[in-house]
Structure 1
Amino acid sequence: MTIIICSGIHDPDLTNNFIQHLKIINQKFLAANILVITYPKIPVYSPVHLEQFLTKNINQNDSLLFIAFSAGVVGSIGAARNWQSKGRKVKALIAIDGWGVPLIADFPIYRLSHDYFTHWSSELLGKSTESFYSQPEVEHLTIWNSPHQTWGWWLNKSGAKIRCTAADFVLNLLQKYDEI
């Protein structure tokens, strides 16, 4: 199993911060098999380029769990669907602030949004298995750079709202899929 972390189009330090904050909160994250994909090394918005990169760098029998941010959500949903269409396993996609990206697939999809409007309007383009939105709202890059400080609401399968941070939500999902 490999966790694919796919950034948006921004300073790679923000992606490093995202990973570091998850590692600080949960030491098991240190042992996870993680492949980080950042722009401009790979055009993260391109499913074709992303899938080519994965094909070269991942065991074809590996199952993948994607964590993608912003423009990286565009490439990740396409690459994940292509990966699965070839008989390979995708456990889930965790889409962070992929506003305007239709997220429809045969694997679980989880959305995190930096505000309620983005959460609400994104759900019109594909219902999430579970979701999180920031409350109070934060800037777009903050949810990626500082997930441990981004408080909001986790909407779980039962319809309950749970107060937590974006990092708590992501780490809970990784535990659910036995990744940490």
Structure 2
Amino acid sequence: MAIAICPGFHPPSLTDEFLEAINFPAPSIRSTGCPLDGRSLFKEWVEAFGDPRNCEYKITVISYSAGGVGAIAACWLWHQAGGKIQSLIALDAWGVVLMGDFPIYRLSHDYFTHSSSSLLGLGDGGFYADPGVDHWQLWRSPHTAIGYGQIYGKTWDLKMTAAEFIRSVCGG
């Protein structure tokens, strides 16, 4: 598995804190371009992981806020070029249409954001903080955002942290 991180418009220190809290043991790339530009993100992935048709990894994409716009576009480009997407995990991608031929999971900082975003693509599962947390807290400190997570088609709707949900989706 390889991880592609697609942050939004926020101080880079928040992404540093997110990566420290999640602590993935996988090769990863942190996008540095415009979070709205899927084509630039796709090019970064090609540089990091090689030709999508020959990439040895299934890519897990984790996006935040506006980064969800570029992330979903880059996922589609990667997928159409023959690459494999393990999953797209979108944190607070409110207002972003998230649909694809690969697993998609929405995480939201509160129930309202979660329920209203589901109109733009329910995906394969989701998490919402309850009680709600600040928008930046969900990204900066996912281990402190407690709420409910569910992977649709399975029987659980468990109280957990956002970090635990992300790890469960990633298989760890």
> In the TM superposition, what are the counterparts of 1:9-158 in structure 2 within 5 Å?
9-23=9-23, 29=24, 31-37=25-31, 41-60=32-51, 61-62=54-55, 63-157=58-152, 158=154
Over the aligned positions, Cα root-mean-square deviation in angstroms equals 1.2
Give 1:170's match in structure 2, choosing from 160, 166, 172: 166
Share of identical aligned residues, percent? Answer: 40
Pairs aligned (count): 167
- The letter of the residue matching 1:121 is S
Displacement after TM superposition at 1:159 (Å): 5.0
- The letter of the residue matching 2:146 is W
Structure 2, gaps ≥5 residues long: none
For 2:64 and 2:155, the matched residues in 1 are separated by 25
- TM-score, length-scaled by structure 1: 0.88
- TM-score, length-scaled by structure 2: 0.92
For 2:128 and 2:155, the matched residues in 1 are separated by 14
Determine the structure 2 residue equivalent to 1:4.
4
Instruction: Give a deviation string over 1:2-28, Cα, whole Å, max 9, x none.
Output: 1101111111110010010112xxxxx
Q: Which moved more, 1:52-61 or 1:120-129?
A: 52-61
For 2:156 and 2:169, the matched residues in 1 are separated by 16
Displacement after TM superposition at 1:161 (Å): 1.6
